Chains A and B, each alone.
Chain A
Amino acid sequence: MQQREEKQLDAAVESLASRVAHVKNALHSFIYKLENEYERLTWPSVLDNFALLSGQLNSINKLLKNEKTPSFRNQVIIPLLLSPDRDEDLAKLTEQRVPVFSHEIVPDYLRTKPDPEVEEQEKQLSVEAARIGPEAAQKQIQTLNKLCSNLLEKLNNPRDDRDSESAAIRQNKPSFNPADTNALVGAVAFGKGLSKCRPPGPVAPGHPGQGPMMSGGPTLQQVTIGGGSNQQAGMGGPVAPQQQGQPGKMPSSIKTNIKSAHPYSR
């Protein structure tokens, strides 16, 4: 019976020590990050570190609550020998944190009760709680629970509402226009709007846009003329023969067409 308890105690202490070592390592790396890399640190990574610590603390709690763990409250640690001399073995064990096992460190490291100030505060709080009376306390508990659940609901559910709001906002500011896409693809694929044979329409006034005239020969542009794209507004039929006529007349017809088929007037 004794042996089993001893074995259980040993196992529990060992696993507790290993989990505490994990927490220590996590804290160590977190502090290092905070001290040295604070310029590059982002809030999500800080949150990750906190989450890691919280998970580790949780696992320690679970271990302590485990049925197989004997109650540590029943164990007592009594220092047998205190000396102000430096103890090398202890220093090595604790990575130079506790070089001396003396009267100064005992109250901190072997403490089982809370600090005196904390104890005072706890006593005051329990006096206060007793003074209020059970019904008032119950009411306060209920209000707190209701507030918490309301907040949780707000955080969890209207993600849908928020999404539809943000979707509406996004719709008000579209970042692309399918008509433009089609126009650009047409231009790249077969020169819609780009032919040497100047189509009437999107020509800036003041740029005569006269180049060597098309000396005949079928072109891609003429294939699209039959299709009636909006550049042809007001000017049916093949464009080339007209341009081979009087170049001087072009400016006036271009101007009228600009009014009717200007791509930028949206």
Chain B
Amino acid sequence: MEAPPVSVMPVTGGAVNMMEYLLQGSVYDQALESLLHRLRGLCDNMEPETFIDHELVYLLKGQQGNPFILRARRSLSHPTSPWHLRYLGQPEVGDKSRHALVRNCVDVAASHSLPEFLNEMGFRMDHEFVSNGHMFRKGAMKIVVSKLSRILVPGNTDNTERLSLSYLVELSVLAPAGQDNMSEDMRSFAEQLKPLVHLEKIDPSKQRH
């Protein structure tokens, strides 16, 4: 996997390189309630947080084969909050025994002119979806249970259609590069959610075909 050229690399400006550790799974609608109860018991005691987000994925086609991808996300339940722009790198193929998917992650907040700005920069929106669900926290771990919906008319977030009869469950941690012990904690947390949902490391490139 060749690295993109320097002109396309995200500018981190001396800040610590953050990595995202990720485990994913899914759960049927019928089992959602039990999963939420279990998470409420296992996670930090706070009001369960629900969210409705609209995510747009932008592509910048360079001369090389692989396009540069940026994800822009805005909250539909808090329309005045800033947009959230995220870059996710390729998953690190290091240790096969590492239990979670690790990839470079850069997050910034942006103003509401983000879509126009990205269009001016040359990015084209590839796809968008609406994700709504619940978020839980346990220490540094974030657990998101969300249902994804396809947007039928681009730009119209009211007219959506569910992608599948399951909810996506994601367990993620944002940590500076080099802290591999997080994956152990994530794995033991994932054990506690079995057999309701199996959280595992799913390589996205294997899902293409």
Contacts and interface: CB of A to CB of B under 8 A. Distances in A.
Whether A associates with B in a native complex is yes
Interface of A: 170, 174-178, 180-196, 204, 207, 209, 211-212, 217-221, 223-224, 227-229, 263-264
Interface string B139-172: 0000000001010111000010101111010000
Given A181-B24, A189-B204, A212-B154, A227 B148 contact: no
B150 A194 contact: yes
* Shortest beta-carbon contacts, A-B, top 7: A191-B127, A175-B31, A189-B204, A180-B166, A227-B209, A186-B207, A181-B26
B148 to A, nearest CB: 6
B207 A175 contact: no
B135 interface: no
Contact of A194 (B61, B129, B197): B129
A176 B35 CA distance: 11
A178 B195 CA distance: 13
A228 B209 CA distance: 7
A199 to B, nearest CB: 10
B208 interface: yes
A209 B126 contact: no
Contact of B57 (A170, A176, A191, A218): A191
Contacts of A219: 59, 126
Most buried by B among A178, A189, A223, A224: A189
Contacts of A223: 208
Given A190-B204, A193-B163, A228-B209, 17 more contacts: A175-B35, A175-B196, A176-B31, A176-B197, A178-B198, A181-B26, A181-B168, A184-B166, A187-B148, A191-B127, A195-B126, A196-B126, A196-B154, A207-B159, A223-B208, A229-B209, A264-B165
Contact of B128 (A193, A194, A207, A228): A194
Given A170-B195, A185-B204, A191-B57, A180 B164 contact: yes
